[in-house]
Amino acid sequence: MAHEFLTVPELAELLRIKERKVYDLAASGLVPCTRATGKLLFPENEVRAWIASQQVGSKSARPAVFLGSHDPLLEWALRQSQCGLATFFDGSTDGLDRFLTDQGIATGLHIPEADGWNVSTVRERCNSCNAVLVHWAKRARGLVTKPDQKSSSAEISNLNGRRIAVRQASSGTAALFEKLMAEHRVSYEAVGPYYSEQDAVLSVLNGEADVAFGLQTVAEQFDLSFNPLVQEEFDLLFDRAAYFEPPLQKFLTFCRSEEFLFKAASHSGYSMSEMGIVRWNAGKKPGE
């Protein structure tokens, strides 16, 4: 006779994993569970349906590609972890579109919304997906200039007529920047587009542009001046089936290592204190 609920040891035996991994799955929200009298329990019918949902069946597997917005720390971690994932960073909107058409197993997002970042957009567009949105980092973004230009170009109100490095239209940076420029009624000369955080900032260093709307950590890497304007939230949207496969597991394990934490601490303007928190889980209503 089947039990209505499985305990941690029973689920570990069913999945043939260690009990520690069961706790990780429960904390991430990736496996159905409930907590009664302080004890984790897993509804067996829902667990077996979840297991079945991970099966590829006749559907082609997603390619092992990480999509979405470019983030310097994310790019470094993917490479340094030797997880074997390819990358195609062409902006948040592009990454989400490609994720929805099964062109990758994960995508990085920083999409500005009226009440925050990413969650409303993902909830609206991905509710039928077998996916989960996990927080990566908070990042300081603002105006990047040469030190001798800081007094004349470090405020939005002073940007009229300036040459400004712009990102591709599919990026979250472009969406946020255009919103700020419209709010302040600024007219500027667009230079670009640039397809990475480094390239946008380097355009200022090389004299191609007067200002870039860039990250603090990249500005300081090249000894440029930085005036913070927003703290944005950068999240990772994972395909759940791929989440348990070796490439993503290797990447995620590396992100808990001392090597990664040391590197993250060296990135000024980053906050990693909430890394790994589940921000949205497919099929769950807000507050569940």
Domain extents for the chain?
Answer: 5-53, 65-135+233-281, 140-232
Helices (H) and strands (E) in the chain, counts: 13, 15
pLDDT in tens, 175-228: 999 888 888 898 899 999 998 899 999 999 999 999 999 999 999 999 999 999
- pLDDT for position 158: 83
Q: Which CATH number describes the domain made up of 65-135+233-281? A: 3.40.190.10
pLDDT in tens, 98-152: 999 999 999 999 999 988 999 999 999 987 788 999 999 999 999 999 988 766 6
Q: Hey, do 5-53 and 65-135+233-281 end up sharing a CATH topology, with the first three levels equal?
A: no
- For 103-131, give one letter per residue: b (16+ CB within 10 A) or e: bbbbbbbbbbeeeebbbebbbeebeebbb
Query: Tell me, what DSSP letter sits at residue 55?
Result: -
Q: Does the 5-53 domain belong in CATH 1.10.10?
A: yes
Give the architecture (CATH level 2) of 140-232: 3-Layer(aba) Sandwich (3.40)
- pLDDT for position 142: 94
- pLDDT for position 126: 87
The span from the CA of 10 to the CA of 4, in Å, is: 12
Among all chains, which residue has been given the structure tokens 């302040």? 184
pTM of the predicted structure, to 2 decimals = 0.76
pLDDT at 56 over 80: no
